[in-house]
Structure 1
């Protein structure tokens, strides 16, 4: 039975397989992202969190997703270039995934199961849903797309210790 995010491997935006176990002992903020969404400016806030806390053990992991309003239509190369040019994104980005439905990425199935949304709903409602993972690989919280990255800073601080 899966009991942490470390049991998963995901494809990076450049196509390599990356074990989530490589992030053991770090706090993770896993986000489903999109380049053409009203929440896209949150990339800036996510990058600021990453810069502020990466030396203390925070990793922000972006997972582009095209399931909400087709707001991530580009290729992996286009997404990577967009994030770098427009928001200076330096945190790890992964290959495009589905977060809901029959083809949902196994990592997101696990995250939704461990950290359900409002009133226990499992489905991810929109881009920029955020999952906060503790140093043991366990999801501790889920944040709505409307939650600005800077609003999560205090929770990240607690987990970093």
Structure 2
């Protein structure tokens, strides 16, 4: 990265308004970092523009367990939505993302019975993805809510009763 140039008093400036609460927060943040308000805001703006601010903000994502990821949440939503409508309404890209997410489960700290259930979903997703997507229904969800091949009750119990709240993670 190029060496930062020192800001001079004759350099252009930009003024903008903040709410009193935001101004107080910015001042407190600058004080806690032992920098001026201008330096604090300028550094954040530079990091926002070059993309590093976003990566710093989401750095804690790498410490999150798999079952708290957006991809896992999307997969769970997809699987539970098939209880009401087994017809394939997903795009190829969505199916590929679900497949990728399920393949990550083998290395995660999920109960084996849940991983096995997702193996059934995986096989079916691959079959559907490799065929014409029109008029195709998923079979893992079963003909009725009461007889699915996928064990919804196991997943539901795991998510509601076994997953630790976020405050238990040291991130």
Query: Is TM more than 0.5 here?
Result: no
Higher helix share: 2
Higher strand share: 1
The TM-score with structure 1 as length reference comes to 0.25
